[in-house]
Amino acid sequence: MDFDTIFMLGSQGSGKGTQGRLLAEKLGFFYWDMGAILREISKEDTPLGKEVSVIDQGVFLTDEQIIRVAKERLATISPTQGIIFDGLPRRLGQAQFLLDFLKGQKRKKPVSIFLDLPREEAIHRMQLRAQKEGRADDTPEGIEARLHFFEEVIRPIIEYLKTESTFITIDGRPSVPEIEKNIAVALGLN
């Protein structure tokens, strides 16, 4: 394998979390779920934990806060351990920090996997998820806000990673097993 770091990218509803977990399991990589890591840290009785706890009120953290969380967590992961990032980077500054940090660890050139999903399909999937899971943020307004965030904030990161990583686009519309197979083929795992 000619990679030890993967960025999972895609709009909400694209299945990047599902595919990221499956791939981490298959490769034995650490699965970096930024949301779960932030929730974990927010429960800690530390200065950073107190700072991060504002996410419970729907407050976005600054780049500096996210980078501090990333530095603290990355320090606990061996540089020889593969990582799949989901939910990080969320802004260009975070992407630049992360790539510099990973280079400093002498890691190989990262791979970015972008699960491409048409907007209408993303909305449809999030509405289904809202019915199944009853997620409070899957209201029509919440869905619209997250898709807007993706276009405004994540799109520029995708453009940046196209030049700074081995960039792979995967059609996010087929079934979970089919997408999993397509990712494995694209990564040369078969």
Question: Is the confidence at residue 109, as pLDDT, over 70?
Answer: yes
The whole-number pLDDT of residue 59 equals 66
Share of the chain above pLDDT 70, in %: 95
State pTM to two decimals: 0.90
Q: How far is CA 147 from CA 12, 46, 124, 153, 187, in A?
A: 7, 33, 12, 10, 28
Quick: pLDDT tens for 87-97: 899 889 999 99
Most confident by average pLDDT, 11-15, 47-51, 180-184: 180-184
Residue 90's φ and ψ, nearest 5 degrees, are -110, -10
What CATH number labels 5-186?
A: 3.40.50.300
Q: Can you give the residue ranges of every domain in the chain?
A: 5-186
Show the tokens assigned to 145.
């806000």
Region class of 78: left (phi > 0), else alpha (psi between -120 and 50), else beta: beta
* 48 three-class SS: helix
> In this predicted model, which residue has the larger pLDDT, 115 or 150?
115
Q: For residue 141, what pLDDT is reported?
A: 86
10-48 per-position pLDDT tens digit: 988 899 999 999 999 999 999 999 988 988 888 888 888
